[in-house]
Amino acid sequence: MLQIHVSRLKNLSLPSDVVYYKSRMIPDMIGKWKHLEYLLMGSCYHDMEKIVSQISIHCKNFSELYILDCLIRKEAALAIAKLPNLKHIIMRNSKIERVDLVILLKGCKNLVSLDARNCLGFDAGDEEISKLASRISDFRCQGSRVFDRHSMEGNYIWFHDTAYDLR
């Protein structure tokens, strides 16, 4: 009986501690969630590209990805860009380099909303990013900035590869 309900799962929220400590188990579980449309994950620093790749294979109606306080590297950005029905991404407070955000913006053709506020790795005022995002009806990147940990003077603390302003 429980298997029937799990197999029809459409919306899933995985708290940060589960994602952080059990991220390697998630890709194997996604194959059982063929109806998954919405996923919220907090603090994903490992295995994101594997998780998203499995969503692409098994979850044909997947449309909303909420990845808060995550590390989005090139491989993960490429995997996200391959999700054919993706309409909404929220990745607030995440770390994503400019080049990887460009991959997302160029690859995710059906985006309606992208919330990249307070991210590290790109400047909110970047003209190319603004131009690429102009087709997205709800694009937000206020507070996002490039961060060079070598040029700062001790006003930031790093935790899980994220910088927090102590000022």
Query: What strand order describes the sheet that includes 11-14?
Result: 11-14, 38-42, 64-68, 88-90, 113-115, 138-140
CATH superfamily to which 2-165 belongs: Ribonuclease Inhibitor (3.80.10.10)
Going by C-beta distance under 8 Å and a sequence separation of 6 or more, which residues neighbour residue 5? none
Full-model pTM:
0.85
- Residue spans per domain, the chain: 2-165
Asked if pLDDT for residue 158 goes beyond 50, the answer is: no
Structure-block tokens of residue 95: 């770390």
pLDDT single digits (tens) 91-145: 999 999 999 999 999 999 999 999 999 999 999 999 999 999 999 999 999 999 9
pLDDT higher for 1 or 115?
115
Length of the chain: 167
Structure-block tokens of residue 70: 């995550």
Structure-block tokens of residue 143: 């507070």
For 17, phi and psi rounded to 5 degrees?
Answer: -65, -35
Contact 77, 96 (CB under 8 A): yes
Residues 140 and 115: their CA atoms lie apart, in Å, by: 5
Residues 82 and 153: their CA atoms lie apart, in Å, by: 39
Residue 119 Cα distances to 28, 58, 90, 95, 146, angstroms: 29, 29, 11, 6, 8
